[in-house]
Amino acid sequence: MASQGTTHVILSEAKNLVGLPTRSANKILRSSQQNSDSLRMTFGTTPHSHADVERYDVVIIGAGAAGLMCAIEAGRRGRRVLVLEHANKAGKKILISGGGRCNFTNLYATPDSYQSQNEAFCVSALTRYTPQEFIGLVEKHRIAYHEKKLGQLFCDGSAAEIVRMLLDEAAAVKATVRLQCKVSTIRRANGFLIETDIGHFVVGSLVVATGGPSIPQMGATGFAYGIARQFGLNIVQTRPGLVPFTSSGRALEFCNRLAGVSIPCTASCNGASFTESLLFTHKGISGPAMLQVSSYWEKGEQVHIDLLPGFDLLAHLKEQQAFRPKAELQTILSALLPRSFVEAMGETSIPSRAMDQLSLKDLNAVARTLKDWSIPFNGTEGYRKAEVTVGGVDTTELSSKTMEAVKVPGLFFIGEAVDVTGPLGGYNFQWAWASGYCAGQYV
Ligand SMILES: Cc1cc2nc3c(=O)[nH]c(=O)nc-3n(C[C@H](O)[C@H](O)[C@H](O)COP(=O)(O)OP(=O)(O)OC[C@H]3O[C@@H](n4cnc5c(N)ncnc54)[C@H](O)[C@@H]3O)c2cc1C
């Protein structure tokens, strides 16, 4: 229980609660006067009849990548910061990211890599806080890292080092992180009153950093969208991104038969193309190329898959026909693709005939099939398996410089909650760091 002195501080703050609806502010004053020897105050109209009221400059909801970065930057500016997290640990997604090694940024994370209804929005943040800035922080904490491929930087040790680094930096600037806290309501006049099961907080700046609903089993929620809607902000339709595809019927039987087989390819959909590998699973198809393209896919659309990217298959088949006329087509193709795949494609697509038994039309058909292959998908594995959420708080509602809602001064949205989505490979963390950094300069 706090001392009477503390109560007076809170009482004098209560008089300045310009952010509170008048009735609530009066109730705080009345109850404070009635209980002047106690810190506890009564909010008759709230679900929690007894609650502490504390004033901070900034409350950040969500102790994930973006929220912690924002807390560090705001704290560096001398702001009094409180981070409210509903899970029992901070940075849970960071901990499971990159297979436990956290692919914390990408050397090539430039704005043109990102997907948004408003593609110019991310330019400001990503050019002000670059991968080099975050690498500098990682090096300052002597965290060993390496480039795995394609500019993807991973910890040599464990993702826990990144969380530790962020929490140490937050502690150094005296930001407070409160775990297992449930936010029940947020109200506004000139500031914000945040009601939670651990107390009530009054702030000038409120930052929503609760991410998107991907991986709900890790504590992910669509909380940010609810807050955005409450304050009249538009949401760009959301869907799971970086997620495996699922099939049914004969297509699923095909995938099941090949589960575990991986093939380098170029997968394309809706103008986006990715050259990496695909992986057959017991539910459909995954692998980096398919995860990437899933962020652009919408139900009913076809994904075009070139199974031999950069390779002139028709020219190769003609050449083989001339030099190895008695060789079986399936044998020739098995030198280029996994034999199990060639066999599973079966008689209809890849006839098991000798090369000299095939017409030019046949060769053309085989080349077309493998250079523009597709398989029907009935959906994806959904938010349960999605690495990211596509869509989110409409960026036209936010300042690209500050992340503040244009029509709600003091309310900020950062990280995955916003309609900015990166591809696989450290890009999404870079957006979280950059947007958190920018908001941290203005809260
Ligand atoms: C399995 C997996 C692996 C990934 N690997 C990588 C990778 O290697 N590299 C990469 O760049 N990206 C990766 N990502 C994506 C990356 O994790 C996210 O894009 C990033 O964490 C988004 O940061 P954020 O701070 O916006 O949200 P989050 O990191 O999700 O943080 C949001 C926080 O808010 C909390 N929260 C939610 N609702 C509430 C609420 N109502 N009240 C209080 N707190 C709440 C959550 O518990 C969480 O702590 C991966 C994602 C997954 C799922």
Q: What does the domain layout of the chain look like in residue ranges? A: 4-239+389-440, 244-381
pLDDT at 349 (0 to 100) = 81
Tens of each residue's pLDDT in the chain, 443 residues: 333 222 221 222 232 222 333 333 333 323 333 332 222 222 223 344 445 689 999 999 999 999 999 999 999 999 999 999 999 999 999 999 999 999 999 999 999 999 999 999 999 999 999 999 999 999 999 999 999 999 999 999 999 999 999 999 999 999 999 999 999 999 986 799 999 999 999 999 999 999 999 998 888 889 999 999 999 999 999 999 999 999 999 999 999 999 999 999 999 999 999 999 999 999 999 999 999 999 999 998 999 999 999 999 999 999 999 999 999 999 999 999 999 999 999 866 888 899 999 999 999 999 999 999 999 999 999 999 999 999 999 999 999 999 999 999 999 999 999 999 999 999 999 999 999 999 999 99
- Mutational test site, ligand 1, from 129, 183, 208, 428, max ligand atoms within 8 Å of CB: 428
pLDDT at 53 (0 to 100) = 87
CA of 118 to the centre of ligand 1 (A): 22
CA of 209 to the centre of ligand 1 (A): 9
Specify whether domain 4-239+389-440 bears CATH 3.40.50.300: no
Q: What is the 3-state secondary structure (H, E, C) of the chain?
A: CCCHHHHHHHHHHHHCCCCCCHHHHHHHHHHHHHCCCCCCEECCCCCCCEECEEEEEEEEECCCHHHHHHHHHHHHCCCCEEEECCCCCCCHHHHHHHHHCCEEEECCCCHHHCECCCCCCCHHHHHHCCHHHHHHHHHHCCCCEEECCCCEEEECCCCHHHHHHHHHHHHHCCCEEECCCCEEEEEECCCEEEEECCEEEEEEEEEECCCCCCCHHHCCCCHHHHHHHHCCCCEEEEEEECCCEECCHHHHHHHHHCCCCEEEEEEEECCEEEEEEEEECCCEEECHHHHHHHCCCCCCCCCEEECCCCCCHHHHHHHHHHHCCCCEHHHHHHCCCCHHHHHHHHHHHCCCCEHHHCCHHHHHHHHHHHHCECCCCCEECCCCCCCEEEEEECHHHECCCCCEECCCCCEEECHHHECCECCCCCHHHHHHHHHHHHHHCCC
Eight-state DSSP code of residue 156: S
CA of 273 to the centre of ligand 1 (A): 25
pLDDT at 224 (0 to 100) = 97
Write the residue with the smallest CA distance to atom 47 of ligand 1. 219
pLDDT at 226 (0 to 100) = 96
pLDDT at 219 (0 to 100) = 80
Q: Residues enclosing ligand 1, CB less than 6 A?
A: 61-67, 84-87, 92-93, 96-98, 102-103, 183, 209-211, 214-215, 219-221, 223, 387-388, 415-417, 426-429, 432
CA of 383 to the centre of ligand 1 (A): 12
Stated pTM of the model: 0.87
CA of 212 to the centre of ligand 1 (A): 7
pLDDT at 352 (0 to 100) = 84
Write the residue with the smallest CA distance to atom 37 of ligand 1. 210
Eight-state DSSP code of residue 268: E
CA of 210 to the centre of ligand 1 (A): 8
Do domains 4-239+389-440 and 244-381 share one topology? The answer is: no
Ligand 1 atom having least distance to the Cα of 432? 23
Architecture of domain 244-381: Beta Barrel (2.40)
pLDDT at 265 (0 to 100) = 98
Tell me the C-alpha distance between 342 and 403, whole Å.
Answer: 51
